[in-house]
Every structure is written in C-alpha cells, then in structure tokens.
Structure 1
Amino acid sequence: MYKLIIFFLLALPFGVFAQTVTTGTVFDYSKKTISLPGVSVRNINSKKTTSTNREGKYTIAATVGDLIEFSAVGYHTDTLYLTNLLNRTIYLPVKSNSLADVDVRGVRMNSQITDAKDPLAEKYTLLNTGGNLQRKRMTDKVGGLNLNLGYGKYKRQQRKEADLEEKDMYLEEIDQNFSEKAVTELTKLQGEELKSFMVIYRPSVELVKAERPYRYNYYISRAYVAWQKLTPQQKKLQDLPKLKEN
C-alpha cells in the first residue's frame, strides 16, 4: 500500500509536466533529414521563449490554444496553433535570396560602357546625380555587368504565377481527398463534430507537398485517433487570440 502511494506521488509531477509543455523537432523544409539547432521558439500567448538544441529539439511551456512561433536567420517564420500537446515535427523553408527591384529610369548611362554602335547612345552620356551636384560625365568603363531588368521582373512574375498555380493544384487535391464524404466514411463523424474535425485537422499544402503521393486515408485515421483524445472543450472551434498591434 505504501509503495503504491509513493509511486503515485513520484508520478504526479511528471504527469503535470507532460500536460503543460509541448515538444518537437525542427527540420529544414527542403532537406528534411537536416535538423536545425538554434531556432527561436516563442509562445506568443505567454511570451516565454526557448531555442532548439543541437539536435533541433525543443521543449516549451504551453497549453492547448496557444500560438507557437518558430524563427531562424535565413528561414521563413512559421506559427503553430496548438490543438493538442503531442510531439510535433516542424519544417522551416529557406528564404530565397533575391535582389530588390531597382528603378533606374532617372539614370543616364555612358555610351562608353558598350562598344556596340547604338543610334540612341548619344542620349545616354550623362549621369544625373540630382541636388546641387553638377552632372558628371562618366569616363570609367564597366565590364562584366549585364543589366536585364525587364527580363528579371518578368521572370519573377512568372515564378509567382507558377507558385500560385501549384498551390491551387494542391488545394484542389486536398478538397477532393479531405472531403466530408471521405472523412465521414472513415470516422463516422457528423454535424458540428465533423466540421470541427475538418477545420482542426485539415492538412496543409506544405504537408501534402512533402510526401508524394500523400496517404489521405492514413492521415485521416491518425487524426481521428488524436481527435478522440481531446476533451469536449478542445473539440470545439476556439477563436484565435488577438495579437497586439505593433
């Protein structure tokens, strides 16, 4: 009897701890086997912060409904809304390094920059420095620089359109496979519970894109197991906390 009491007394702190923290590992989105150390992990609700260790693992105090923010130099910041405190795997995509657009309409280029004969070259012989400074004739030759501003802007626009088309494709796939009919057939959920389940556990584009082909039935089954462990209050859709204006 005494041994049983001691066991419960020793187990209680660990049980309480397990219910008040969330854990996980952060990986590079493109190279999913590479964990990311030093990622800043912040609980937006409680303002508590920590960072991932050498293996990319983190532990932070949290409760269901908190917003957890992940940020690192060179990576896009990601925010997670906690529907439960289970161990999670986070993937951060790398920021693309691109030069900012440059407006060069006010610059007049020196005809000596190129040896090509251009009938309009005479119009580009002066550099307008603006202000009270005098206009100075450019005499230094520039080599190894190829300006292709129009093409660069067009290429970026094409890339954006391609990304949007790809995202629409994945969203359409998710709508078809994570539908009310598909979820009901596997889980037997209906009514408000079905709506809540589909909002809380709807797979993201990044999740579906990371695993091809994506196993929707397997995902729905796992999500339903997690759903059954939620309390009635947790199963209800909760309003996201309002963020303070900067």
Structure 2
Amino acid sequence: MGISTHLQKVALLAVLILAGIVSQAQVRVSGTVYDRTQMVRMAGVSVMSNSGAGAITDSLGHYSIIVPVTDSISFSYQGKPTMKFAVREIPFNRPFDMSLHVSVMTLPTVVVTEKMRGYKFDSLERRNEYRKVFDYAPDYLTSGGNGVGAGVNLDALLSIRKIKRMEAFRRFLERDEREKYIDYRFNAVLVKKITGLQSPALEAFMKEYRPSYELLLSFETEYQYYKYIRDCGRFYTGNNTSPHQ
C-alpha cells in the first residue's frame, strides 16, 4: 500500500508539473482582419487577451500577438468587441483571420503617400514646361495701334490660325491632364480592393464604369467615391440594383 500511495503522489506531482508547463507555454497567433465583405482589410482593430496582452492591426489588417495556450482573445473595433476565442482551439499552423461585421462607412481614410502626391508634382512640372501654352491669351485690341482703325492689332488678326492652333493644343493638354488624373484616382489596385474583382472581369469593369473628371470632382469625401465603386461593383456582378437608383 505504501508503494502504491507513493506512486500516486509521484504521478500527481508529474501531472501538476506538466499542467504548470502547459499553462506557461505561449504561442503566437497571427492573421488578417477583414470587414464583413471579407474583401477590405481593416487597420486599427484591437486584439485583446484575458491575460492583458494586446495588439493592433497595421495598415494591411495584419496582427500578431503572443499569448498563453490557456488564454482567450477577442477583437474590437470602435468599441464593439467580438466573442472570445480560446487559444487552444485556434490552429497554430495557419493564419487565424477574422471578419468583423463593419460597414464601409466606418472604414478608415486612405493614407496619402508620397507616390500618390507625385501626380500633383507631375502636373505642376508639365504646366511649367508648357506655361506659354496654358497662359496664352492673345490681345485682339491694344491701346496703341499702328494708326489704323481704333487701335486694332493687325498682327493678331493676321495670326488667327496660329491662335487657333495654340488654343487647340492647350485644350489637348488639359484633356490629357484630366485623363491622367482619372487614371491616378481610378486605379486597378483600389478597384480590386473594394470590389474584389479579378482579371479579366476587373479590366472590363474599369472600362465600363470609368468615371468622368467631373464625376470625380463631385465626390465631397473619399467615402462617397469608394461607395460609388462598391455599388457599381455589386451592380456589375448582379448583386445589387443600379448604383444610380
């Protein structure tokens, strides 16, 4: 009986030690957080654990947190937490992605980068290069004429063809500048991110729903512009009514 009792104590001690080791073992949980469409990655989402560890998703929606195996984690965005997920039930060999029930209205604003600002610099350089064209404004009447008529500039009247060519060239430069602005705003990376479309449907969609320069200027906020792309994408794939209704 004495030996049996001793073995039981040893076994119990071993179990307690093993349980202590397991409870102290930590693992890394990582993944990506998306909105409810599972197409838009969400930045600024809080990842919290019962033990006090925490992390925040980056600009691409990625997160990484080290927690005990016995812990639980939850996700929170704008004060709205999700249910808790037991760490021991999370597969450690693949990313633990999460989709939050968040509408596009609560998505963060796109951050302006140096590359995006390059469009304005290119436009300024171009206008400096063609300043004579953009600032061209011929005077048909001058205060000091050649003694003919009431101060009529005969050189201007004799250069109507040149004036028309300059004005046509200026209109061409302005149209080309507007088209480049549309290309800059309505780009494949942004459209793919919002609509989830893949090639060749992506190219067909961008050709069919390419906005005009005036339409782009009519959007007061980035949200309105993104919503336009989202609604057009849903209509294009047959998941919604016309975006103009």
**Shared fold (TM-score, shorter chain, > 0.5):** no
So what's the TM-score if we normalise by structure 1? Answer: 0.30
Question: TM-score with structure 2 length normalisation?
Answer: 0.31
| Larger Rg, first or second structure (1 or 2) | 2
